[in-house]
Structures are given as C-alpha cells and as structure tokens.
Structure 1
Amino acid sequence: MPRYFFHYRTEEALIRDEAGSEHANLEAAEHNAAEMGRAIIERIAGEGGEMDAPRSIEITDATGQDLLYVVFWAGPKVGDGPASPVEPARLH
C-alpha cells in the first residue's frame, strides 16, 4: 500500500507529517484528510479559536511530490449555535 503524508498548513505555519500513513489509494487518503480537517475544526471550535481562517491538509507521496490539497474552514455562524465545518474543497 502506498504511504501518504498529511502536512497541516495554517496562515502562520506548516506542520509536517514525518511518519505518514498507508492508504489504498489517493481517494482513501483524501477521505482521511477530510476527516482530519473536520476534527481540527471541531477542536478549534471547542477551544474558542479562530474559526474563519483557512487551513489545509497537503497530501504528498513518499518522494515529497504534492498530490492534493484539502482546504477547510468553518462556515458562518447561523442562529445561536456554533459555526459548522464547511465541506472540504479539493485542489489539485
């Protein structure tokens, strides 16, 4: 199985995934990145952090080649509840 690396980018920093993880294909890696994005937004929301700043998970292969960017942020607050995660966007 191929190994993919999921680097987390904010406006201020790039946090590199040095270990990576194996996935059947790029589609499975993309699904993993989207789940990571949702978990990050939920954690930031729970901590009262900045919700509208764009963030991304940059997926690379073992050689460091960029394969896919999954961009995510929380959507606008509607009503009395918290902001909700926006469906991750796929960029090539």
Structure 2
Amino acid sequence: MPRYYFHYRTEDELIRDEAGSDLADLEAAEHQAAEIGKAIIDKVAGEGGEMDAPRSIEITDDDGEELLYVVFWAGPKIGDGTASPINPATVH
C-alpha cells in the first residue's frame, strides 16, 4: 500500500507531514486531504482566525514527488451567519 504525505501550506509557512499515511490510492489520499482541510477550517473558525486566507494540502509520495494539491478556504460571510467551509478544490 503506498504511503502519502500531507503537507499543510498557508501564505506564510509550510508544515511538513513527516509520518505520512498508508492509503489504497491517490483518490483515497485526496479524500483524506479534504478531511484534513475541513478539520483545519473548523479549528480556525473556532479560534476566530482569518477565514478567507487560502490554504492547501500538498500530497506527495515517498520520493517527495508532488502528486496533488487540495486548495481550501472558508467562504465569505453571508447575512448574519459565520463563514462556512466551501468544498475543497483539487489541482492535479
């Protein structure tokens, strides 16, 4: 089973995943990255952080080859509600 690494990038920094995860294929890794992105947005929202800054999860393989980017951010505030996560977009 291949090992994938999920590096978290903001405008200011790159947080590298040193452990990685064994997953069936790149599609499973993409779903995992989307879940990570949602968890990050939920955490940022709960802490009152900046919601409209773009963020990404960069998926690499064991050799460090970049395979996929999952870009995410929270959508704009509409009405009286708070910003809410939008569906992650992938860039192959």
TM range (shorter): over 0.9
The normalised TM-score by structure 2 is: 0.98
Matched residues, number: 92
Percent identity, please. Answer: 76
4+ residue stretches of structure 1 with deviation over 2 A? none
Q: Separation in 2 of the partners of 1:81 and 1:43?
A: 17
Q: Separation in 1 of the partners of 2:26 and 2:77?
A: 32
Residue 80 of structure 1 and its aligned partner are, at CA, apart by: 1.4
**Aligned 1:15-34 pairs, distance under 5 A:** 15-34=15-34
| Greater displacement, 67-76 / 79-88 | 79-88
Residue 78 of structure 1 and its aligned partner are, at CA, apart by: 1.1
Q: Which residue does 1:56 correspond to in 2?
A: 56
Letter in 2 for 1:37: G
Q: Does 1:86 align with 2:86?
A: yes
Q: Separation in 1 of the partners of 2:77 and 2:84?
A: 7
| Greater displacement, 55-64 / 77-86 | 77-86
Residue 15 of structure 1 and its aligned partner are, at CA, apart by: 0.2
Q: Structure 1 regions of 5+ residues with no counterpart?
A: none
Residue 86 of structure 1 and its aligned partner are, at CA, apart by: 1.1
Letter in 1 for 2:90: R
Q: Which residue does 2:72 correspond to in 1?
A: 72
Q: Structure 2 regions of 5+ residues with no counterpart?
A: none
Residue 10 of structure 1 and its aligned partner are, at CA, apart by: 0.2
SS at the partner of 1:19?
Answer: coil
Q: Does 1:41 align with 2:41?
A: yes
Residue 23 of structure 1 and its aligned partner are, at CA, apart by: 0.5
SS at the partner of 2:81?
Answer: coil
The normalised TM-score by structure 1 is: 0.98
